[in-house]
Amino acid sequence: MSIFSSPAFDDHEEVHFFDDPATGLRAIIAIHDTTLGPAAGGCRMKTYDSEDDAVTDALRLSRGMTYKAVMANLPYGGGKSVIIGDPHSEKTEALFRAFGRAVESLGGRYHTGEDMGVTMQDMDWAAQESAYVHGTTASEAQDPSPDTAVGVLAGIIAAVKHKLGRHDLKGLGVAVQGLGNVGYHLCRLLAAEGARLSVADVDADLVARCAAEFEAVAVPSDEIYAVDAEVFAPCAVGAILNDQTIGLLECDIVAGSANNQLLEERHGQALSQAGILYAPDYVINAGGFISVADEMVAGRRDEQRVLRRLHGIGDLLGEIFSRAASEGRATSEIADAIAGEKLAAKKAG
C-alpha cells in the first residue's frame, strides 16, 4: 500500500506503527490534525482481512474525528488507533499495557478511549501505563453509547422535520441495522417516541432482545436495507452505503451512528440524487465524543451542559440540510465544506 497517495491519507500529520512481539501487540495510531488541540479518538480492536485494511480504517476514522471535533466545537484534533487482533480471544493485560506505553510515547499528542472491540476494563490496563487513556471504569462519563444514541435521536428528529415536515416520530417506521451499544439504546429511545421498529443484527440474541423489549420486527441482516420505512439507521459497521446497497433503499432518510457510512464520497451524491436525506455520520454520531470531552475539558461532567450540546446536534443538522437544499448539493458535501472552512479559519489564526 502506498500510504501517502492513499485517498484516506488526506494530509495526516503522523501515522505510527507499533510492533511488540513480547505481548503480540500490533497497532497503528493515526493522528490526522491537531489544529484544534491534541488528537482524540478511540481504540478499536479487530481482525482485518489485511494490514492495508487496518491502515485504511485507522486513517479514515482519524480524519472523521477531526471533522467530528470541529463540527461539535470541541478543543480536540482527530486521531484513532487500531489494534490488529481478535477481541474475543487475543486480549491480555500485557497487550493493553503495551498499547498504553505506545500512547504514552506520543507525549500527549494523542488521547484515547474505547471503541469497537475494546472495553473500559481494557482501558484500565492501558491507563496504568499512560496519562492519556480515558474511558476507564473510573471515568465519570462511563459508557458513551447512551449519549451517542441521544444525539442520533436528535438528528433523526431534525431529519424528519426537514424531509417530512413532521415534528414527532409517532407511527414512523425506523429500520435499525446493528443492535450493539448504540443501536440498542437508540431502539429504546425510538420506541419511547412511538416509532415502529424493524431491526437486524448478525447476533440473533440481540435481535431477540429488541423484538421482545420494543415490539420490533426482526429482519434478516441482508434485508434491512430494503425495509419500507421512513428512516434507515445504520448502527453497525462502516461503508454500508455503496453501489450495492443504495439502490435497495426504500427510506426517505438515512440517519444512524455508524462511522464512515459512505464507501466513497460520491455515494453522498448518489443518496441525494435518489431523493434520500443523509445525516452526515460525523455530525450525527458526535454525542459520545461530546459527552467524554465534557469531562476531559472541564474536569467534571455537567449533565445539563452535555444534554444541551447533544440536542445541538439536531440544530446543526437542520442547518446542513437547509444549506444543502438551497445550494442543490449533497448534505455530505455541505458538512465537509463547513468542517473544512472552520478548520481553515482556525489554522489561519
Catalytic status, residue 80: yes
Contact between 171 and 194 (Cβ < 8 Å) = yes
C-alpha–C-alpha distance, residues 74 and 261, integer Å? 22
Question: One of 68, 80, 91, 163 is an active-site residue; which one?
Answer: 80
Pairing state between β 25-33 and 14-20: antiparallel
- Residue 202: CA count within 13 A, CB half-sphere: 3
Q: How far is the CB of 21 from ligand NAD (least distance, A)?
A: 28
In this chain, which of 258, 279, 306, 334 binds ligand NAD, going by CB under 6 A? 258
In this chain, which of 35, 148, 198, 332 binds ligand NAD, going by CB under 6 A? 148
Q: How far is the CB of 137 from ligand NAD (least distance, A)?
A: 16
Sign, CA torsion 337/342/346/348: positive
**C-alpha cell recorded at residue 269:** 451524491
Complex with ligand NAD: residue 148 or 331, whichever CB lies closer? 148
State yes or no: residue 237 binds ligand NAD (CB under 6 A).
Answer: yes
State yes or no: residue 204 binds ligand NAD (CB under 6 A).
Answer: no
In this chain, which of 38, 113, 268, 288 binds ligand NAD, going by CB under 6 A? 288
In this chain, which of 206, 227, 283, 296 binds ligand NAD, going by CB under 6 A? 206
- 242 Cβ contact partners less than 8 Å away, ≥ 6 residues apart: 262, 263, 264, 267
C-alpha–C-alpha distance, residues 25 and 40, integer Å? 21
Complex with ligand NAD: residue 56 or 177, whichever CB lies closer? 177
State yes or no: residue 235 binds ligand NAD (CB under 6 A).
Answer: yes
- Using alpha carbons, list the distances in angstroms from residue 181 to 46, 51, 133: 16, 27, 20
State yes or no: residue 183 binds ligand NAD (CB under 6 A).
Answer: yes
State yes or no: residue 180 binds ligand NAD (CB under 6 A).
Answer: yes
CA 206 centroid distance within chain: 20
Q: Which residue numbers are catalytic? A: 80
Q: In the complex, which residues of this chain contact ligand NAD (CB under 6 A)?
A: 116, 144-145, 148, 177-183, 200-203, 206, 221, 235-238, 257-259, 285, 288
